[in-house]
Amino acid sequence: MSPLKFKIASLIFIWATCSYGQESNIDLLDSAYDENNPHKSLLILKSIESLSSYSDSLRGKYWLTKGIAYGKLGVEDSALYFLDQSIIISNSNGYNYLRARAGNAKGLTLFHAGRYEEAIQTYQAALVVAEENEFHEEESTILGNMGGVYFQMDDYPSAIKYSQASLDIAIEIDDTDDIAYGNLRLAVVYEEIDSLELSIFYNTKASKSAESLGNYVLLTYIEKTLGNIHKKLSRLDSALYHHEKAREFAILAGEQENIASTTIEIARVYLDMNQLDMAEREALNNLKVSNANSYPLQAKLAHDVLYQIAVKRGDYQTALNERNEYLTINDSLNAVETKERIAELEIKYETAKKEKEIIEANAEIERKERFQQFLYIIIVTILVFSTIGILLLVQRFRLKKALLFQEIDTLRAQINSIFGGETKKLNLSLEQINDGLFKPLSEREYEILTEAISDKTNGEIAETVFVSVNTVKTHLKNIYMKLGVSNRKEALEVILAKS
C-alpha cells in the first residue's frame, strides 16, 4: 500500500484540531512513516511530543512506524513489541487498515528472524482483515510475502499457490510494480524445482512489467537469470542474447559491477560456443572494468575464462600465468588453494617441455603448505590458551557474582529489619528518592526500582510491569546512572541510606 493511501486512511480517524502543536506532530509522524532510512525515522519519532492527548489512530500509526524502523534495523524484540502495540490499538478501535498493515510488518519481522511458522500465522490473521475489507493492494503484498516464507521452508507447492494468488490480485488492480515482482517470485520457485520452461515464462512476463517501469536494475537481474537458464538448456544463442540485454540494462542503470558480471557471462557463453577470440575480448573487457572499480571477484572469474581459453588453444604457458593470477586473487578472497588445477597444468606443461615453471609452481605449493601448517600450530596454541583464560574468567565471574548476591541479601535483610521484615513495604516516595539527584527518576523508573529492591529477577519484573526483559534492563541501566551506581547492590545501599 502506498504511503499516500495510508495517510488518507489514518486521517479518517484523527479528531479535528486547530492546535499548531498537534498538526506539527502529525506532519512529523507522516515524515517518519515515509522515511526509508530507519535511523532517520527513529530520530523524527523521538522529536514528537507525547501522544497521550492525541487520538488512538495517531498513536497506532506511531507504534507501527516505530516497529517498522526497528524491524529494518534487525532489532526484532523491540520491533515486535511496538507492532503488537499498534495491533492492540487497531483491534480495540476497529482500525482495520492499520491492523492489516501492522500484521504484515510483524509477519515480515518474524520471517527475517527465522520464525517461519509464527510468520505464517501472523500473515494469515492480517490476510483475513485485508480480504474482509477489500484492501486489495495490502492483500497482494501479504500473499506474496507468505509465498516467500513457504519458499524458505522448501514448501514449493504452497510457495507457488500464494505467489500466484498475489499475482492475480496485482493484475486485477493493475499494479505494475507488484505484477513484476509477482512474476519474478514464481520464476524463482520454478527455477528452484527445475521447471525451467515455466521459469522462462514468468521471467519474461516480469521483464515486460519491469521495462514499463524503467527499473533497469531489476531488468538486469531478470535478463541475466534468463541467460543462465537458456545456458542450462544448451540454448547458447538465446543465452548470449539475454546476457547482452542484461549488460545493456546494467549500462543504463549505471551499475558498474553488474556491467562486469554480465560481461563475464557473455564471455562464458562465447567460450561454450568455442568462439575463443570473442570470449577473450569479453574477458579482457571484464578485467578492464573490474580493475578500474576494484571488483576482485569479477577479475578472478575473468582470469578463469582466460585460463580455459589458453588451455583450449594449447598455450600452457599463458594458461599457467592465468591460473596463478586466479589463485592469487582467490587466496586474497577465500584463502583457498586449488592444487588439482596446478597438478593438471603440471602434466600438460611437462608435455610441452616446460619443466622449469612447474618446479617453481611446486615450490610455491610447498611453501604455502608449510606456511599453512605453521598457521595451524599457531591457531591451536591460541585456542588452548584462550580456553584456559576463558575458564579462569568464568570462575572469577561466578565467585564475584556469588559475593555480590551475598551482599545484596545482607542489604535486603537490613531493609527488612527497618521496615518490618518485608522489602515491599518500603515507604519511600518518588520525590524522596529524587531529592538530591542531578537527574530525577521517572515514574516508570520508580516503578522498576520498587520491584528491583525485592528479590525478583529481571524476568519476574518484566512480567509484573508488562514489558520485555530487554526493556527492564534498559530502565535499570538508566536508574543506576541517575543514582550514581553500577549495580543492584549499590542501588540498595542508596535506598538504605535514604531510608
pLDDT at 140 over 70: yes
Q: Are residues 417 and 323 in the same domain?
A: no
Q: Are residues 225 and 327 in the same domain?
A: yes
Classify residue 113: in a domain, yes or no.
no
Q: Are residues 320 and 446 in the same domain?
A: no
Classify residue 310: in a domain, yes or no.
yes
Q: Report yes or no: 103 and 129 within 8 Å, Cβ to Cβ.
A: yes
Q: Are residues 424 and 313 in the same domain?
A: no
Output the CA angle 401-406-408, nearest 5 degrees.
95
What is the residue range of 486's domain? 412-498
If DSSP codes are grouped into helix, strand and coil, which group holds residue 473? Answer: helix
Classify residue 236: in a domain, yes or no.
yes
The DSSP-derived string for 167-230 is: HHHHHHTT-HHHHHHHHHHHHHHHHHTT-HHHHHHHHHHHHHHHHHHT-HHHHHHHHHHHHHHH
> Phi-psi bin for 457: left (phi > 0), alpha (psi -120 to 50), beta?
beta
All three cell numbers of 467, joined, read 514489558
pLDDT in the model for residue 352: 54
CATH code for the domain of 454? 1.10.10.10
Q: Are residues 348 and 426 in the same domain?
A: no
Q: Are residues 322 and 421 in the same domain?
A: no
Mean pLDDT of 74-98: 91
Q: What is the Cβ-side half-sphere exposure of residue 456, based on CA atoms within 13 angstroms?
A: 19
Give 19-52 pLDDT, tens digit per residue.
434 557 788 888 888 888 999 988 988 887 666 6
Q: Report yes or no: 471 and 462 within 8 Å, Cβ to Cβ.
A: yes
pLDDT band at 89 (very low <50, low <70, confident <90, very high): very high
Residue 313: how many other CB atoms lie within 10 Å:
12
Last residue of a domain, one of 336, 353, 370: 353
Classify residue 424: in a domain, yes or no.
yes
pLDDT in the model for residue 421: 44
Last residue of a domain, one of 353, 369, 387: 353
pLDDT in the model for residue 226: 95
pLDDT in the model for residue 400: 66
pLDDT in the model for residue 452: 81
Q: Are residues 293 and 423 in the same domain?
A: no
The DSSP-derived string for 361-423 is: HHHHHHHHHHHHHHHHHHHHHHHHHHHHHHHHHHHHHHHHHHHHHHHHHHHHHHHHHHTTT-G
Please report, for residues 129, 202, 258, the alpha-carbon distance to residue 224 in angstroms, rounded to integers and kept in the order given.
38, 14, 10
pLDDT in the model for residue 383: 83
Q: What is the Cβ-side half-sphere exposure of residue 365, based on CA atoms within 13 angstroms?
A: 14
d(CA 307, CA 329): 14
Amino acid, single-letter form, for residue 242:
H
CATH code for the domain of 246? 1.25.40.10
Out of 232-246, 328-342, 414-428, 433-447, the most confident range is: 232-246
Q: Are residues 244 and 321 in the same domain?
A: yes
pLDDT at 205 over 90: yes
Last residue of a domain, one of 306, 338, 353: 353
Q: Are residues 218 and 348 in the same domain?
A: yes
Out of 205-219, 377-391, 482-496, the most confident range is: 205-219
Cα 488 to its chain centre, rounded Å, is 36
Q: 3-state SS of the chain: helix, strand, coil percent to 5? A: 80, 0, 20
Q: Are residues 343 and 434 in the same domain?
A: no
The conformation of residue 424, written as its DSSP 8-state character, comes to G
Classify residue 240: in a domain, yes or no.
yes
Percent of the chain residues past pLDDT 90, beyond the cut: 49
Mean pLDDT of 421-448: 75
Classify residue 485: in a domain, yes or no.
yes
Q: Are residues 236 and 327 in the same domain?
A: yes
Q: Are residues 308 and 434 in the same domain?
A: no
pLDDT band at 333 (very low <50, low <70, confident <90, very high): confident
Give 104-127 pLDDT, tens digit per residue.
999 999 999 999 999 999 999 999
Classify residue 479: in a domain, yes or no.
yes
pLDDT in the model for residue 356: 59
All three cell numbers of 346, joined, read 603440471
Domain count, the chain: 2
Classify residue 74: in a domain, yes or no.
no
Q: How far apart are the first and last CA of the chain?
A: 57
Q: Report yes or no: 167 and 186 within 8 Å, Cβ to Cβ.
A: yes
pLDDT band at 474 (very low <50, low <70, confident <90, very high): very high
pLDDT in the model for residue 266: 96
Q: Report yes or no: 188 and 200 within 8 Å, Cβ to Cβ.
A: no
Q: Spell out the residues 6+ positions from residue 368 whose beta carbon is closer than 8 angstroms to its own.
A: 337
Give 146-182 pLDDT, tens digit per residue.
999 999 999 999 999 999 999 999 999 999 989 999 9
pLDDT at 210 over 70: yes
Helix axes 96-112 and 136-152, enclosed angle (nearest 10): 20
All three cell numbers of 105, joined, read 510488518
pLDDT band at 83 (very low <50, low <70, confident <90, very high): very high
pLDDT in the model for residue 395: 76
**Mean of all residue pLDDT scores within the chain:** 83
Please report, for residues 393, 443, 454, 473, 496, the alpha-carbon distance to residue 489 in angstroms, rounded to integers and kept in the order given.
21, 21, 11, 15, 11
- DSSP H or E run through 117: helix 116-132
Mean pLDDT of 429-441: 83
With 0.85 as the threshold, say if the pTM is over it.
no
pLDDT in the model for residue 418: 45
Q: Report yes or no: 198 and 229 within 8 Å, Cβ to Cβ.
A: no
